[in-house]
Amino acid sequence: MKLIRRKALALFAGLAAAAALPLGAIAQAQDMPAPLDNPGDVKIALVRYLSTGDFFQAYLSGVEAQSKALGVDLRVFDSRQDAALQADMVDQAIALGVDGIIIQHGLTESMKEAAQRAVDAGIKVVAFDVNVENDAIPQIEQSDYLLGKLALEQAIADNGTEWKAGYVYVPGIAPLDRRHVAWEEVKEANPGIVEAAQMGTLDNPIANSNANQARSVLQANPDISVFFAPYDEFAKGVKIAVDEAGLSQDVKIYSADVSTADISAMREPDSAWAATVATNPAVVGEVSVRALAIMLTGGDPGAQVVVPPTLITQDFLNENDIKNMEDLSANMPQFAHADVAMTEWMPLPPR
Amino acid sequence: MSIHPDQTQPDASAASRPARPAPRSSSAIDLAIRYGFLALLLGLVIFFSVFANGFAGPRSAVFIFQSVAITGILALGVTCTLVVGGFDLSIGSVATSSMMLSAYMMVVLEQSAFVAIIACLAMGAFIGLINGLLIVKTKIPDLLATLGMMFLLVGLQRIPTEGRSIAVGMTLPDGSTAEGAFSPLFLSLGRHRFDFMLENLLPAPVIFLIVIGILVWGFLELTRHGRLMYAIGSNERAASLTGTNVNNYKIMAYMISGVLASVGGMLLAARLGRGDIASGTNLLLDAVAAALIGFAVLGAAKPNAFGTAMGALFVGILLQGLTMMNAPYYTQDFIKGFVLVLALIFTFSLSARKAGSH
């Protein structure tokens, strides 16, 4: 009897805690270790290299949500693909007296020294998707290799191992380079998979420029049955070209990344976009802030914090009538929250 | 600023005058100047037809037109400002702002296609008016005024959505979900295909390009207003002394440019089905390249609508042909630059020699 009562009490306490969670960010602040016991005085900076596109918007929203849940003061620096400016912005953040910095993308060469200066100034730094060659700086990663690999495994599951492929790739962009490794491996392992054409450009608007190129590729290689476009802006472009060529029944597109716009494109009737593999960029943003918070409190998130990706197929979207990212998170728990960079005291953004 | 190579000829009607009989020795050069670029264009088409699999045929012709339709429309706008001796650097960002505005009107404010189109055209005209006023009233040099406008618009287009791209079902800054959608009528502006010889062959943007091209050509070459604009470009002071209202014509040129850029932006939104945050720099550069290449067509050595259309087509044929031959992406900028330099050589050096030989 006593036992039951205790259980009921615990259950009740759990429920109360759960109900309080969205409101309780401030109430919980006292439970967080120093300096986060007084989070209003903690300043962190997000220094961005890439910001245009759905992925980067969602990443920012994740960073903002987790910062808000912690109660820290977030400053956003956006260099808009200017590598030199991004390095200057790190110095600016140092001058501002921030406690922590998240470096989001960038070039190793330009960021390595700036990151070292921040570390020397006693600032905790984490880096997302850029290798700054520094042992004091943990790497946050969505596993781009796995992203490519899962998409291609699905392509093989759908189409067998004998097909002509169109491939969209721009070398020199770190995440694309890592996804490229998966493509090379799959081609190696399956001699029946032939790369008939390679294309790709980052001219903006990216989808429009790639649509023009893909249209030419499809015209020159009418026997292409699979397009591997491992970046959603690429996939959007290829889909426009496939639709314009009237080939939506004959070509299947496999890509990486996902957004609300991508979901609606995948769910159009007869859409050629068969599957995409993604980590939720908002979750990656949250993980970046959590890793930084762990460092600020003297903890160690590990040298590499990898956020695992999820396969999203057109069939899954249709079966569950998923219309946007919120629906997707609701239907795919592994997409809504990644159990990495977690501690007992860590407050989570409201869902 | 003026980049007319024929500054030395104040006579505005020089443009429409038939070619003077040239001395025998320079007739080869004359031929090269007049038909060199068109011959090159023909050569390219033949080259790609032979070597690029699937290049020859109505379908590729159509998608080459489609790939240049939007930059072509923007380039026609730039041509109008070049004609009056100006330059509009803001067209790329006017186009992307118009793309964002049309998406915003329909997706966020849930307006009809008609309202969205009117709003975009009005925005284009208004920005053109501001550009024109800045240039003629406050005497800011055209490059600087339109450069300022370009930066202003790149920022302005992000303010309503706090930097988010606009897509159906997007999450708004306040956390709610956008309820509106692109109207099918609007999407058809960028996606509808008319039957022409083959079923569903001609995409709507190509029709827009051709119609706008003919209108701008007719306006510049056949009307009194067009000739006066050329006169202003050749010698602003002389035009003003003959009683031309130089300021009004200049403002009009920028308004045409703004409106055409907004049309380009709407076609882009209709093709993509979303409002993409973009600086429009690539659109600007491609459009300017097309207009400058146009100088070389038919030895005009001045901005002209026909040349601009040919210039856009030339770049389109090259890029699509190269893509079909699997040329890597970085060769494309190189080729664009090479063609532009070649065209400028045609225009400036050869026509200077022609002028010198008389």
Q: Say yes or no: A200 contacts chain B, CB-CB below 8 A.
A: yes
pLDDT for res B25: 53
Instruction: Give the chain A residue nearest B63 (alpha carbons).
Output: A215
pLDDT in tens, B194-214: 877 777 778 899 999 999 999
Q: Say yes or no: B184 contacts chain A, CB-CB below 8 A.
A: no
Higher-confidence residue of B353 and A294: namely: A294
Fold of B33-356: ABC transporter involved in vitamin B12 uptake, BtuC (1.10.3470)
Q: Which of residues 42-61 of B touch A (CB under 8 A)?
A: 52-55, 59-60
**Size of chain B in residues:** 358
Model confidence at A74: pLDDT above 50: yes
Model confidence at B304: pLDDT above 50: yes
pLDDT in tens, B110-154: 999 999 999 999 999 999 999 999 999 999 999 999 999 999 999
- φ, ψ (nearest 5 deg) of residue A171: -65, 155
> Measured between CB atoms, which of A201, A207, A215 is closest to B276?
A207
Lowest mean pLDDT among A138-152, B24-38, B326-340: B24-38
Q: Which of residues 298-337 of A touch B (CB under 8 A)?
A: 323-326
DSSP designation for B329: T
pLDDT for res B351: 64
B55 contact residues in A (CB cutoff 8 A): 219-220
> Measured between CB atoms, which of B55, B167, B326 is closest to A260?
B167
pLDDT for res A156: 95
d(C-alpha B82, C-alpha B219), whole Å: 14
pLDDT in tens, B144-189: 999 999 999 999 998 888 777 888 877 777 778 888 888 899 998 8
Instruction: Give the chain A residue nearest B191 (alpha carbons).
Output: A244
**How is residue B45 written in tokens?**
């088409």
Other C-beta atoms closer than 10 Å to the C-beta of A281 total 25
Which parts of B136-254 are beta strand (E)? Answer: 193-196, 198-203
- For chain A, the structural domain boundaries read 1-28, 31-142+281-309, 144-278
Q: Say yes or no: B229 contacts chain A, CB-CB below 8 A.
A: no
DSSP designation for A33: P
d(CA B321, nearest CA chain A) in Å: 8
Instruction: Give the chain B residue nearest A58 (alpha carbons).
Output: B164
d(CA B44, nearest CA chain A) in Å: 16
Model confidence at B331: pLDDT above 60: yes
CB pairs under 8 A between A and B: 112
Higher-confidence residue of B320 and B120: namely: B120
A244 contact residues in B (CB cutoff 8 A): 63, 66, 191, 203
- φ, ψ (nearest 5 deg) of residue B16: -90, 0
Sorting pLDDT into bands at 50, 70 and 90, what band is B106?
very high
Lowest mean pLDDT among A223-237, B79-93, B231-245: B231-245
> Measured between CB atoms, which of A220, A261, A323 is closest to B324?
A220
- For chain B, the structural domain boundaries read 33-356
B181 contact residues in A (CB cutoff 8 A): none
Q: Say yes or no: A350 contacts chain B, CB-CB below 8 A.
A: no
Q: Say yes or no: A215 contacts chain B, CB-CB below 8 A.
A: yes
- φ, ψ (nearest 5 deg) of residue A65: -65, -45
Model confidence at A17: pLDDT above 70: no
Q: According to the 3-state scheme, what is the secondary structure of A238-303?
A: HHHHHHHCCCCCCCEEEEECCCHHHHHHHCCCCCCEEEEEECCHHHHHHHHHHHHHHHHCCCCCCC
pLDDT for res B64: 86
Q: Would A31-142+281-309 and A144-278 be classified into the same CATH topology?
A: yes
Which parts of chain A are beta strand (E)? Answer: 43-48, 73-78, 100-104, 124-128, 139-142, 163-168, 193-199, 226-229, 252-256, 273-278, 304-307, 310-313
Model confidence at A151: pLDDT above 90: yes
Q: What is the mean pLDDT of residues A31-40?
A: 86
pLDDT in tens, A203-219: 878 888 899 999 999 98
pLDDT for res B355: 56
Rg (CA), chain B: 21
> Measured between CB atoms, which of B54, B278, B326 is closest to A222?
B54
Q: Say yes or no: B356 contacts chain A, CB-CB below 8 A.
A: no
Q: What is the mean pLDDT of residues B14-28?
A: 52
d(CA B318, nearest CA chain A) in Å: 11
> Measured between CB atoms, which of A52, A213, A260 is closest to B277?
A52
d(C-alpha A113, C-alpha A134), whole Å: 9
**How is residue A7 written in tokens?**
């259980």
B279 and A264: CB-CB below 8 Å? no
pLDDT for res B75: 95
A326 and B177: CB-CB below 8 Å? yes
> Measured between CB atoms, which of B60, B63, B276 is closest to A205?
B276
Q: Say yes or no: B176 contacts chain A, CB-CB below 8 A.
A: no
pLDDT for res A27: 42
DSSP designation for B21: P
pLDDT for res A211: 92
Mean pLDDT of chain B: 85
d(CA A269, nearest CA chain B) in Å: 15
pLDDT for res B13: 43
The pLDDT > 90 percentage for chain B reads 43
pLDDT for res A14: 45
pLDDT in tens, A238-249: 999 999 888 888
d(C-alpha A120, C-alpha B345), whole Å: 54
How far apart, in Å, are the Cα atoms of B318 and each of A209, B212, B325, B337? 14, 23, 11, 12
* Mutation to test the A interface, candidates B323, B325, B333, most A Cβ within 10 Å: B323
What residue has token string 């790639």?
A210
Model confidence at B217: pLDDT above 90: yes
> Measured between CB atoms, which of A213, A219, A246 is closest to B54?
A219
pLDDT in tens, B57-77: 887 888 888 889 999 999 999
Quick check: B117 and B178 in contact, CB under 8 A? no
3.10.350.10, 3.40.50.2300, 3.40.50.720, 3.40.309.10: which CATH number matches A144-278?
Answer: 3.40.50.2300
Q: Taking the domain A31-142+281-309, which CATH number applies?
A: 3.40.50.2300
Mean pLDDT of chain A: 86
Model confidence at A262: pLDDT above 50: yes
pTM above 0.90, yes or no: no
How far apart, in Å, are the Cα atoms of A248 and each of A187, A301, A311, B257? 24, 45, 21, 37
Q: Say yes or no: B323 contacts chain A, CB-CB below 8 A.
A: yes
d(C-alpha A109, C-alpha A208), whole Å: 31
Quick check: B190 and B268 in contact, CB under 8 A? yes
Q: What is the mean pLDDT of residues A55-82?
A: 89
Tell me how far apart the terminal alpha carbons of chain A are, to the nearest angstrom. 36
